[in-house]
Amino acid sequence: MGTDVELPLVGAIAFGIIDRGTNVLQVRPTSLCPLSCPFCSTDAGPSSRHRAAEYEVALDLMLDWVEQVVRFKGSRGIEAHIDTVGEPATYPRLVELVQGLSDISGIEVISMQTNGVLLDEQLIGELEDAGLDRINLSIHALRPELAKEMAGTEGYDLEHVLSVAEAIAESRIDLLIAPVWVPGVNDSELEPLIRFALRIGAGKKWPPLGIQKYLAHKRGRRPPGVRPMSWRAFYRALRELEAKYGVKLVLSPEDFGMRKAPLLPAPFSVGEVVKVRVLAPGWLRGEVTGEARGRAITLVGAWGLEPGMEVLARVIRVKHTIYLAEPL
């Protein structure tokens, strides 16, 4: 966003904190991304067709909110997972964010999802010293031309990302290689990626690989001619690869120490009419972001609404800590 607006940091999908009723909190400091992957579920990057605004959260505000949520959840055994609808390394104060999270009582693991293009050896060292425990690194192919195609840009430097992977593996930060399996596109890349992860020493504490199933999302990008695999076929293929390479690929929450934990209560219920103060443009076109009852709430179908307006809206979705409503 180009203007400074203080929004509540619970309630939205594009920024802030998402609590899904477990001991893992998703921490989203930015929505920006330098890549335009053709299968991106959030339509991120320069080629986005649906985005109307990008967000960057003030560091102190983020840390204050995280501390409040951690305290609510019991101040013990919490994992702060820095992920975004874009790329976390676009956040200019990433090292300070990791350091600040490590100083919060109750946070015992700090992890991050990244495509690796903005990382280098110096930044990895700084993140290591700040207290980062694990990096989930998205690498989808080991053939340079296919890797560029899957990143949606000719500027994607596979050799750089592979050197980043090796630097992470050599540090105290654990490495998990996390390719998205796009059927018909990178099928032949999975086994080379498994061999690469095992060769460089990924997975010192957690699993070395987290192969993700491609899903077609309503507002995400869909590669032409690609049909998602069934979950049954996906898990069958992973089990075959597990047997071949002797590595765990069918993962469960327990592999990451994930457990149920109190969910922040929702101040809304579906069907309820609430007064919403519009504070900012929405993440996607046709949306605005507002505040109601101390939470962020996204108004959909909100064409013509501007910051500063107050409107009545009917709540249409309450899932975990993500709230949507339609203006009346």
DSSP state of 67: H
**Residues 320, 199 within the same domain:** no
**Residues 279, 244 within the same domain:** no
129-155 pLDDT tens trace: 999 999 999 999 999 999 999 999 999
**Residues 77, 179 within the same domain:** yes
Cα 164 from Cα 121, distance rounded (Å): 7
Cα 162 from Cα 206, distance rounded (Å): 20
Please report the pLDDT score of residue 2 as a whole number. 44
**Residues 169, 288 within the same domain:** no
**Residues 300, 219 within the same domain:** no
**Residues 291, 251 within the same domain:** no
Residue 266 lies in a domain: no
On the 0-12 / 13-18 / 19+ scale of CB atoms within 10 A, 304 is: exposed
Residues 6 or more apart in contact with residue 225 via CB below 8 angstroms: 184
Read out DSSP for 171-195?
SSSEEEE--EE-TTTSGGGHHHHHH
Residue 320 lies in a domain: yes
Cα 6 from Cα 26, distance rounded (Å): 19
**Residues 280, 234 within the same domain:** no
Residue 4 lies in a domain: no
Is residue 207 within 8 Å of residue 194, measured between CB atoms?
no
Cα 177 from Cα 193, distance rounded (Å): 8
Residue 154 lies in a domain: yes
Domain that holds residue 194: 16-256
Please report the pLDDT score of residue 5 as a whole number. 75
**Residues 185, 315 within the same domain:** no
Residue 6 lies in a domain: no
**Residues 74, 205 within the same domain:** yes
What CATH code is carried by the domain that includes residue 75?
A: 3.20.20.70
**Residues 186, 318 within the same domain:** no
Residue 227 lies in a domain: yes
**Residues 161, 211 within the same domain:** yes
Please report the pLDDT score of residue 45 as a whole number. 86
Mean pLDDT by groups of 10 residues along the chain of 328 residues: 76 96 97 90 84 92 97 93 95 98 97 97 98 98 96 95 98 97 95 97 97 87 88 97 97 95 95 96 91 96 92 96 96
What CATH code is carried by the domain that includes residue 300?
A: 2.40.50.140
Provide the number of structural domains found in the chain. Answer: 2
